[in-house]
Chain A
Amino acid sequence: AQSVAQPEDQVNVAEGNPLTVKCTYSVSGNPYLFWYVQYPNRGLQFLLKYITGDNLVKGSYGFEAEFNKSQTSFHLKKPSALVSDSALYFCAVRDGDSGAGSYQLTFGKGTKLSVIP
């Protein structure tokens, strides 16, 4: 079984400050990890993913995420937050060792990010 935990329902950060949205995961095989963002009344938009290689992954809109295997974490970060970054953020995991054709993603509950002007 695979699972994702996003321990914070809401994160508040001042504009211009660095932001971190936390994610921990549990999976039996190799983790494939994803971050998505959801703006109000919109579908989820892909931000970035970790499959293998460098533990620091860079994605859209200046976001990056750090994979930490020992802590089973994949925290989302941005050096300087913008008001327009305010949205709902979802972490997701897939078991890379799952059977051929199995692409089930398990999503966290989401973290609401509010960037205060």
Chain B
Amino acid sequence: DAGVIQSPRHEVTEMGQEVTLRCKPISGHDYLFWYRQTMMRGLELLIYFNNNVPIDDSGMPEDRFSAKMPNASFSTLKIQPSEPRDSAVYFCASKSPGTYNEQFFGPGTRLTVL
């Protein structure tokens, strides 16, 4: 099993540019989560999907952030326009069907906005 796959692993961009982060969940998992990790705020849940449908996006910080899940094997998190305060590590996680199952995390994308 390849685990959760995220790309790119590192992204450096300039303020104002559009950034797209990608995630491939583990096959057969029906939940997908996007998190952001910073030293100041720790690990924050941004949004999560069930069967490709967004369930809770209350953690999305601003309208500049958007996420999609067009099918069961792919999700994107987009920031447009990006700002320096968006610099963080973004994690994707997925969970298999079942009430008690844990989440599996990808390796993360380290985003730096200059």
Q: Which residues of A contact B (CB under 8 A)?
A: 32, 34, 36, 41-46, 49, 51, 90, 101-110
Selecting from B41-49, B61-69, B73-81, the interface stretch reads B41-49
Q: Bound complex: CA of A34 vs CA of B104, how far in Å?
A: 12
Query: Tally of A-B residue pairs with Cβ under 8 A?
Result: 46
CB <8 Å contact, A90 and B43: yes
* Chain B interface mostly: strand
Which chain A residues lie closer than 8 Å to B93 at the CB level? 43-44
CB <8 Å contact, B42 and A107: yes
Which one, A34, A101, A109, contacts B42 given CB within 8 A?
Answer: A109
Chain B residue, CB-CB nearest to A101? B50
Which one, B45, B106, B107, contacts A104 given CB within 8 A?
Answer: B45
CB <8 Å contact, A104 and B103: no
CB distance from B21 to the nearest CB of A (A): 14
Q: Bound complex: CA of A53 vs CA of B55, how far in Å?
A: 30
Chain A residue, CB-CB nearest to B50? A101
Which one, A43, A49, A105, contacts B100 given CB within 8 A?
Answer: A49
Chain A residue, CB-CB nearest to B110? A41
> Does chain A have a CB within 8 A of B102?
yes
Chain A residue, CB-CB nearest to B95? A103
| Interface size in chain B (residues, C-beta < 8 A) | 20
> Does chain A have a CB within 8 A of B34?
no
CB distance from A10 to the nearest CB of B (A): 14
Which chain B residues lie closer than 8 Å to A46 at the CB level? 102-104
Q: Given A32-B100, A101-B55, A104-B56, decide whether A43 and B106 contact each other with a Cβ distance below 8 A.
A: yes
Other contacts beyond A32-B100, A43-B108: 6, CB < 8 A: A44-B105, A46-B104, A51-B100, A103-B31, A103-B50, A109-B42
> Does chain A have a CB within 8 A of B72?
no
Which one, A45, A51, A105, A110, contacts B45 given CB within 8 A?
Answer: A105
Chain A residue, CB-CB nearest to B3? A43
Which chain B residues lie closer than 8 Å to A108 at the CB level? 42
Q: List the 6 closest pairs (A to B, CB-CB), nearest first.
A: A43-B105, A44-B105, A107-B43, A109-B42, A46-B102, A51-B100
CB distance from A8 to the nearest CB of B (A): 14
